[in-house]
Amino acid sequence: MSSLGRTAAAAWAIARKDALAELRGKHAATSTLFFAALVLLLFGFALGPDSRKLADAAPGLLWLAIVFAGLLTVARLHAVETDDDALEQLALYPVDRRAIYAGKVISGLVAMLVLGMVLLGVVTILYGMNLGPALPALLLTLLLGTLGFAAVGTFYAGVTVRMGAREVMLPLLVLPIVAPLLLAAVKATGAALGGDPSGELGAWLQLLVGFDIVMLVAGAGTYGFLLEDV
């Protein structure tokens, strides 16, 4: 098997292992989803029954819920490596360190995509929105947004995984970095939901693609250093 093939196989094995652990520890994923849905519900109560106001706020609230859920998800995917010092064992396998990063990004992406799609459904129901024609653009925005968040979140989850105050440090480190991503994701979601009258959707999606590429390259290139001297 080629070097690239081995790296891809190792990344897939790590992602599969994380998915299996997530499915078996489903109480954690369920509580994350419940928490995110509760955020949407409470904001819905706060904004009242005005459908116009709800539609205006929906993109921001959707991404707020995804960010909260995403932070918990990437932290949990790394926390599983601290039990019985699995992270040290993982670092000692003869695999490219980029495979470990890629595996963690894939598992984070899949978990956040599932959460995001459920939350999109929750927004539709709670805020009485019709996604119909906007759905393809919304799903693309969701994919690009969660990919970028997984790229950044995985790196910083690796930074904080051995810290005592990692629950505090992770959002402090991640949120400033993902600010451009959140801006683009919220704007793209709003444009998609509103039918993109001013034709800005493409530009925001391009920003998301650029952010994702930069963060994936930077994360893959530097994540390995986090595994040194573990």
Binding site for other proteins (CB under 8 A): 1, 6, 9-10, 13-14, 17, 20-21, 24-25, 80, 83-86, 88-95, 228-230
| Least Cβ distance, residue 229 to other proteins (angstroms) | 5
Task: For other proteins, give the closer residue by CB, 3 or 198.
Answer: 3
Joined together, the tokens standing for residue 111 give 């978990």
d(CA 120, CA 37): 10
In three-state secondary structure terms, 180 is helix
Sign for the CA dihedral angle at 169, 172, 174, 177 comes to: negative
| Least Cβ distance, residue 82 to other proteins (angstroms) | 10
3-state helix, strand, coil in the chain (%, to 5): 85, 0, 15
Task: For other proteins, give the closer residue by CB, 96 or 212.
Answer: 96
| Least Cβ distance, residue 46 to other proteins (angstroms) | 38
Task: For other proteins, give the closer residue by CB, 17 or 114.
Answer: 17
| Least Cβ distance, residue 159 to other proteins (angstroms) | 18
Sign for the CA dihedral angle at 95, 101, 104, 106 comes to: negative
Task: For other proteins, give the closer residue by CB, 13 or 143.
Answer: 13
